[in-house]
Amino acid sequence: MQETVKQQIKDLLKERNGILLAHNYMRDEVQEIADITGDSLALSQEAARTDKELIVFCGVHFMAESAAILAPDKTVLLPRLDAGCPMADMVTAEELLKFKARHPGAPVVTYVNSSADVKAVSDICCTSANAVRVVESLQDEEIIFAPDRNLGQYIARTSAKKFHFWDGYCPTHERLKAENVLKLKEDNPDALFVCHPECNPAVVALADHVCSTTGMYDYCRKSPATRFIIGTEAGILYRLRQENPGKEFIIASPALICPNMKLTSLEDILAALQTLQPVVTVPEEVRIPAKRALDRMLAVPRD
């Protein structure tokens, strides 16, 4: 049954000149059929560069919006319109503008986990993969960082700048507690602890390495270590295990499951391709300033 649905998806993608992009947290079977799996940065870059007419975005709403912002001539489908991001919902453009007025002159650096409206009132965006580089690319000594206070504090650890943090967070990563990690480290003294910067600072302080989801694939592949404790959403385990058959990956907590990232099924993808719905669009008056903030991020040179 699943094999038939997968084949139908592949056939329709071909017929409709489409590409299937999937975030690293998606269900295993969705990652398996994706043309590209990646972190938020890689997926937005792919959306910007693809010559396909149709982008089927398997992720959450803000990611499909980023694709629609960067590729306005393409049709962007989000198979589950109800796949949102609670962290992105923790700030509105209106609230951010009021916060900005309290810190005149400080540029707003906004994590891509935010709505198009919020991006539109931001100076520059960042992802977990480039946040440190983005902040360091700015001349300003004071920075407003929204919405993820944890990612903000992670950047601030290595920066001389003064930060004003929005008080948002990822409920999934926040469920991982330092005591979970300490217990696992005690039981597995040879394992390295790798975590995402969306984890709270007490957890990040225990990490051997902190990086984006794609950063974890690179780090675990290159590391001579063979056992890893993983501090991010459990969907990452699919590729980690597939790409490193001789290595062992232990999820740092069974609570590391993002319900929104788990919504999209193969049947949802098939239905989206059959009906060409739901389409994610961004009105031009929002898209243009939001694109400016994303383009500015994409122009920051790599190390």
- Quick one: 106 or 146, whose CB is closer to ligand SF4? 146
**C-alpha dihedral (81, 258, 152, 221), degrees to nearest 10:** -110
In what side-by-side order are the strands of the sheet with 209-210? 209-210, 192-195, 227-231, 248-251
- Quick one: 263 or 282, whose CB is closer to ligand SF4? 263
List the one residue from 124, 258, 266, 297 that touches ligand SF4 (CB under 6 A). 258
List the one residue from 87, 93, 181, 230 that touches ligand SF4 (CB under 6 A). 87
Q: Which residues lie closer than 8 Å to 37 by C-beta, 6 or more apart?
A: 21, 22, 23, 24, 26, 31, 239
The site partner of 46 among ligand 13P, ligand SF4, none (C-beta below 5 to 8 Å per kind) is none
**Interface with ligand SF4 includes 201 (CB under 6 A)?**
no
H runs (alpha helix) in the chain: 2-15, 28-33, 40-49, 61-70, 93-101, 116-120, 131-136, 149-156, 171-174, 178-187, 201-204, 213-222, 237-243, 266-275, 284-298
Summarize as ranges the residues that interact with ligand 13P (CB under 6 A). Answer: 24, 39-41, 85, 113, 127-129, 170, 196, 198, 212-213
**Interface with ligand SF4 includes 60 (CB under 6 A)?**
yes
**Interface with ligand SF4 includes 260 (CB under 6 A)?**
yes
**C-alpha dihedral (56, 61, 62, 66), degrees to nearest 10:** 30
The site partner of 86 among ligand SF4, ligand 13P, none (C-beta below 5 to 8 Å per kind) is ligand SF4
In whole angstroms, the minimum distance from the beta carbon of 154 to ligand 13P comes to 12
Residue ranges in contact with ligand SF4 by CB under 6 A: 60, 85-87, 113, 170-173, 198, 233, 258, 260-261
